[in-house]
């Protein structure tokens, strides 16, 4: 018991008293304190740092708002830091692990009700524990004509991904944009419904986003100002037609022209969903591993990449998009898109049925149609015991910015001995870059190298003027520090809000670099 991670401000006796009170609320079955049999599952198995840095002291799994209110009373009494998770699958950014060792994980997986699906208006109301698979299966069983918009791993939380500003691949891919109505429990136990949901006679809680007064939902995303216990999310009605397509490009430098061509098409919504340009290795991982092409140390050389491209009939860049709507509209739009893509030398086109044995095509076509899957995790098979953390900067959607980001990340990754595994999405007006830093998690030296590489990437991009939109636990402070305009005015404001809403700092201390006063350096 002497090695037991504990909350910083608590003695073992105080901790045990707090746990005893939590057991009175939740029973024996939903309070987890066994380090080996229960809490090891709360590790971030993809972290670049040691498990001990994020080892929780306990985890608790409430099933209702009322139980959360009672838990908060205990947390305030003992000043127990609670780290909130939904389905706990936020891998690459920390998974279910808390920011610091000793926190108690507030695990909302068992709050898994699909409270409402409104077929007429196209929305669902869900709790944090509902995964994309859960919601998809529910809609299928009900023969609903509504689509979901899953993140690439289907086991993720609908609510959790939305509150982390996650994205998907249908036209409803900006998840927070599709939020309408939110229920939040504040640190003092009070429960707030946002927007129209707060009107006593409202019947538009999930139809109109704003209501009367400030729109506050954003304050509870990527933050620690409250515990989000319910959201409304708009769902896309099934369109009359759907046609996925893929365009491959042979050269690395084609990324410039792809981005220049795609950006205006996306801005004007001829491409209505996330316009995704996927790097060669990202796609190749669905079918092959690195060892099949390269047995040396460091990144796979250009000759190996060229051979992979030939063997798998893919490009150095592979663009995935989809047409939605009535056939005449899709026919008409495709004429414009085809002409645009044909302006890039070497472009090759593929449609449904052209790549029957390509799982990369299949899972992309599913995601753009709102069908959840787990295929993208195959990227971890690129190396032996693969793990990854994701670097996700944002820039204007221009060819120049795309190439600058690509070459900066590729060169830094190669310097540290890693492959470039990335994709670029034109979100709407901006370029969303995701670099998957894949490493062997059983190799301590490689983990350390990945950690250093990631830190350098943040520095590189800060100098170039690119900010990241999301961060792994270990890099939240470093990235927060890059949002420094006007002497860090934004984070100063976050801290003032934090101190006002959660003066004892019991809710997810350190989330995104927002710390309570007692823990600020």
List the interface residues with another protein, window 402-421 (CB under 8 A).
none
Q: Does 310 bind another protein (CB under 8 A)?
A: no
Least distance to another protein, CB of residue 23, Å: 14
Helices 65-78 and 12-26 meet at what angle, rounded to 10? 160
Shortest CA distance to 188 belongs to which of 510, 501, 497? 501
Find the binding residues for another protein in span 131-150 (CB under 8 A): 133-134, 138, 142, 144-146
Of 24, 52, 66, 116, the one binding another protein by CB under 8 A: 116
Find the binding residues for another protein in span 145-174 (CB under 8 A): 145-146, 154-155
Using CB under 8 A as the criterion, what x/- string covers residues 47-76 for binding another protein? ------------x-x---------------
Of 202, 222, 289, 478, the one binding another protein by CB under 8 A: 289
CB-nearer residue toward another protein: 122 or 513: 122
Structure letter (DSSP) for residue 378: G
Specify whether the CB–CB gap between 118 and 211 falls below 8 A. no
CB-nearer residue toward another protein: 296 or 328: 328
CA distances to 191, 306, 310, 382 from 437, rounded to whole Å, are 39, 21, 24, 11
Of 12, 20, 41, 73, the one binding another protein by CB under 8 A: 41
Of 4, 8, 45, 251, the one binding another protein by CB under 8 A: 45
Least distance to another protein, CB of residue 438, Å: 10
CB-nearer residue toward another protein: 357 or 487: 357
The residue count for binding another protein (CB under 8 A) is 83
Q: Does 325 bind another protein (CB under 8 A)?
A: yes
> DSSP states of 269-298 as a string?
TSS-S-EEEEEHHHHHTTT--GGGT--SSS
Least distance to another protein, CB of residue 459, Å: 29
Q: Does 332 bind another protein (CB under 8 A)?
A: yes
The DSSP bridge pattern shows strands 58-60 and 317-324 to be unpaired
Q: Which two tokens stand for residue 29?
A: 């079955």
Of 38, 51, 253, 477, the one binding another protein by CB under 8 A: 38
Find the binding residues for another protein in span 486-505 (CB under 8 A): none
Stretch that binds another protein, among 47-55, 116-124, 221-229, 406-414 (CB under 8 A): 116-124
CB-nearer residue toward another protein: 183 or 408: 183
Q: Rounded distance, CA 446 to CA 413, Å?
A: 12
Least distance to another protein, CB of residue 146, Å: 8
Can you say how many angstroms the Cα of residue 381 is from the centroid of all Cα atoms in its chain? 20
Q: Which two tokens stand for residue 471?
A: 């961060």
Phi, psi of 143 (to 5 degrees): 55, 40
Phi, psi of 220 (to 5 degrees): -105, 15
Catalytic choice (243, 364, 412, 470): 470
Q: Rounded distance, CA 190 to CA 343, Å?
A: 58
Q: Rounded distance, CA 327 to CA 307, Å?
A: 38
CB-nearer residue toward another protein: 181 or 505: 181
Q: Does 362 bind another protein (CB under 8 A)?
A: yes
Of 334, 377, 428, 483, the one binding another protein by CB under 8 A: 377
Structure letter (DSSP) for residue 238: P
Find the binding residues for another protein in span 85-104 (CB under 8 A): 87-89, 91, 95-96
Stretch that binds another protein, among 39-47, 404-412, 470-478, 511-519 (CB under 8 A): 39-47
3-state secondary structure 60-86: ECCCCHHHHHHHHHHHHHHCCCEEEEC
Of 326, 345, 346, 465, the one binding another protein by CB under 8 A: 326
Q: Is 469 a catalytic residue?
A: yes
The DSSP bridge pattern shows strands 146-147 and 236-237 to be antiparallel
The DSSP bridge pattern shows strands 393-396 and 317-324 to be unpaired
Shortest CA distance to 57 belongs to which of 101, 26, 10? 101
Least distance to another protein, CB of residue 131, Å: 8
Stretch that binds another protein, among 67-75, 322-330, 400-408, 425-433 (CB under 8 A): 322-330
Find the binding residues for another protein in span 196-255 (CB under 8 A): 237-240
Of 287, 348, 355, 414, the one binding another protein by CB under 8 A: 287
Helices 254-267 and 327-342 meet at what angle, rounded to 10? 150
Find the binding residues for another protein in span 433-492 (CB under 8 A): none
Least distance to another protein, CB of residue 92, Å: 11
CB-nearer residue toward another protein: 324 or 469: 324
Shortest CA distance to 85 belongs to which of 28, 164, 165, 190? 164
Q: Does 120 bind another protein (CB under 8 A)?
A: yes
Q: 3-class DSSP state for residue 410? A: helix
CB-nearer residue toward another protein: 400 or 415: 400
Catalytic choice (46, 93, 242, 245): 93
Structure letter (DSSP) for residue 261: H
Specify whether the CB–CB gap between 270 and 336 falls below 8 A. yes
Q: Is 495 exposed, middle or buried, given 0-12, 13-18 or 19+ CB atoms closer than 10 A?
A: middle
Active site residues: 93, 469-470
């Amino acid at each position: 018991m002497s090695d037991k991670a504990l909350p910083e401000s608590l003695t073992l006796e105080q901790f045990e008293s707090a746990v005893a009170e939590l057991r009175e609320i939740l029973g024996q079955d939903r309070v987890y304190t066994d380090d080996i049999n229960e809490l090891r599952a709360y590790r971030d198995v993809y972290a670049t740092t040691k498990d001990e840095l994020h080892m929780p002291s306990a985890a608790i799994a409430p099933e209702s708002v009322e139980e959360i209110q009672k838990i908060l009373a205990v947390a305030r009494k003992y000043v127990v830091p609670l780290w909130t998770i939904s389905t706990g699958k936020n891998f690459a950014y920390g998974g279910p692990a808390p920011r610091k060792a000793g926190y108690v994980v507030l695990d909302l997986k068992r709050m898994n009700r699909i409270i409402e699906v409104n077929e007429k208006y196209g929305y669902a109301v869900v709790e944090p524990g509902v995964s994309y698979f859960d919601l998809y299966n529910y809609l299928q069983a009900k023969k609903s004509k509504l689509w979901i918009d899953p993140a690439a791993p289907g086991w993720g939380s609908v609510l959790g991904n939305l509150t982390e500003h996650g994205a998907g691949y249908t036209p409803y891919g900006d998840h927070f944009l599709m939020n309408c109505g939110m229920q939040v429990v504040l640190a003092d136990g009070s429960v707030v419904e946002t927007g129209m949901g707060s009107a006593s006679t409202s019947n538009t809680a999930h139809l109109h986003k704003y209501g009367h007064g400030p729109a506050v939902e954003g304050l509870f995303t990527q933050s620690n100002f409250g515990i989000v216990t319910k959201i409304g999310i708009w769902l896309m009605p099934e369109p009359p037609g759907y046609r996925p397509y893929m365009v491959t490009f042979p050269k690395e430098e084609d990324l410039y022209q792809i981005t220049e061509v795609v950006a205006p098409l996306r801005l004007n919504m001829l491409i209505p969903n996330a316009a995704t340009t996927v790097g060669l290795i990202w796609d190749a991982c669905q079918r092959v591993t690195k060892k099949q092409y390269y047995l040396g140390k460091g990144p796979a050389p250009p000759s190996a990449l060229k051979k992979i491209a030939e063997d798998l009939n893919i490009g150095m860049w592979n663009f995935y998009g989809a047409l939605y709507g009535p056939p005449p509209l899709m026919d008409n739009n495709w004429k414009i898109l085809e002409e645009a893509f044909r302006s890039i030398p070497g472009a090759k086109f593929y449609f449904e049925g052209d790549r029957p044995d390509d799982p990369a095509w299949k899972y992309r076509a599913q995601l753009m149609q709102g069908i959840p899957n787990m295929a993208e995790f195959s990227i971890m098979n690129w190396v032996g015991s693969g793990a990854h953390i994701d670097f996700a900067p944002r820039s204007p959607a221009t060819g120049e910015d795309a190439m600058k980001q690509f070459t900066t990340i590729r060169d830094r990754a190669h310097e540290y001995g890693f492959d470039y595994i990335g994709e670029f999405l034109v979100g709407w007006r901006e370029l969303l870059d995701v670099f998957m830093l894949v490493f062997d998690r059983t190799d301590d030296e490689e983990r350390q190298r990945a950690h250093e590489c990631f830190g350098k990437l943040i520095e590189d991009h800060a100098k170039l003027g690119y900010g990241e939109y999301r961060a792994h636990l270990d890099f939240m402070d470093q990235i927060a520090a890059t949002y420094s305009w006007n002497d860090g005015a934004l984070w100063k404001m976050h801290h003032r809000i934090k101190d006002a809403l959660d003066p004892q700092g019991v809710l997810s201390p350190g989330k995104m670099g927002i710390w309570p006063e007692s823990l600020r350096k």
